[in-house]
Amino acid sequence: MLPRAATLALLLALGVVASPARAQAPAEAEADTDPARASAQAAPRAVSAVVSPDQVRLGESFTLTIEVRDSSEVRYELPPDLSLGKEFDLVRITPTRATKDGETVTRFVIEALLFELGEKPLGSLVLSAAGPQGLRRLTIQAPTVTGTGVLPEDQEAELHDILPPVEVLVPRYTALWIIAGTILATLTLLLLWRWLKGRPKRVPVAPIVPRAPAHERALARLEELQREDLPGQGRAKEFHFLLSEILRDYLGERFGFLALDMTTEELLATLTRTATPGLVYSRFEAWCSEGDLVKYAKLQPTPASCKQAIEDAFGFVRDTVPASAARGAVRQGRSHTGAAAP
């Protein structure tokens, strides 16, 4: 009995010691993305901070636009607890990113309100820069905003004494209300009589057709695009835009995210974090890269490459059909085969 009791006490002690260590691990992982923990200063290619307008009345909004140009391997983020100061009130923050020729333009549009008079500095904003060299910080000195009064400068507010009571004549519209009510009741009865007399017959409502699954709608749109033969009409760029839109719309609905609002880099990053059964990531990444060259780099594709692009799109859709839908199609095919057999 004594060895078992000693073993149990030892296991409990080890569990108590290990639990704080496990509790600290998520906190340390979250702190690694905090720009305050980064000791090195980032060196982007270009940085700008513009406020518009630079003079606002109390309670009116202004916009601070921060733009950072750097390599596409570096990602800049604002701190989650961003504050411009007690005299400012944040309304919204709109981040955007655009990548071209290996350079990413990161833009943060910060809309805020000012509630104090005079020149108010926006202070220093510290952004985090995550890239191949690890976590770094970027300190931006924001411009100032001047708060002005509601009244123009050439007008001064004058205080007046309280005026004495003034007699107010309250007109009575009882007779008018009675006449208006009588007219309204008469018109209501007339309209009701005409409606009862000329009431239309009931029209049968067509049954609601359920919406087809996402993969069926995507395949139908691809077939329609294939029949249009846009590359044969010299509209290869338009063809690639429509092809990308169809596949993005399908993948977003299939795996549950807004793919149409994402750049190619954001789409690929989201797919790496999402379970996508059936989708070969390397093939899809190469397909996206070739399409971007046609859409944005003025690459002139050949008819053969356009044909291969839409065939690959068909393959991506068919490879990611949900298992339940695939089993239903197999059962339906077997039932048709059995009915046709003699």
In this prediction, residue 261 carries a pLDDT of 87
61 with 84: CB under 8 angstroms?
no
In this prediction, residue 112 carries a pLDDT of 84
Query: Which portions of the chain are predicted below pLDDT 50?
Result: 1-2, 8, 11, 13-31, 329-342
In this prediction, residue 325 carries a pLDDT of 67
In this prediction, residue 338 carries a pLDDT of 39
In this prediction, residue 323 carries a pLDDT of 79
Q: From CA 200, how far away is CA 321, in angstroms rounded?
A: 47
In this prediction, residue 311 carries a pLDDT of 94
Residue with the two structure tokens 């700008």: 48
Residue 202 phi, psi dihedral angles, 5° rounding? -70, 130
Q: From CA 105, how far away is CA 112, in angstroms rounded?
A: 22
In this prediction, residue 342 carries a pLDDT of 36
What tens digit of pLDDT does each residue of 46-67 get? 888 888 888 888 778 888 888 8
In this prediction, residue 102 carries a pLDDT of 81
Task: Tell me where in the chain the CATH 2.60.40 domain(s) lie.
Answer: 46-148
In this prediction, residue 27 carries a pLDDT of 40
DSSP code for 41: B
At the top level of CATH, the class of 46-148 is mainly beta
In this prediction, residue 327 carries a pLDDT of 59
105 with 97: CB under 8 angstroms?
yes
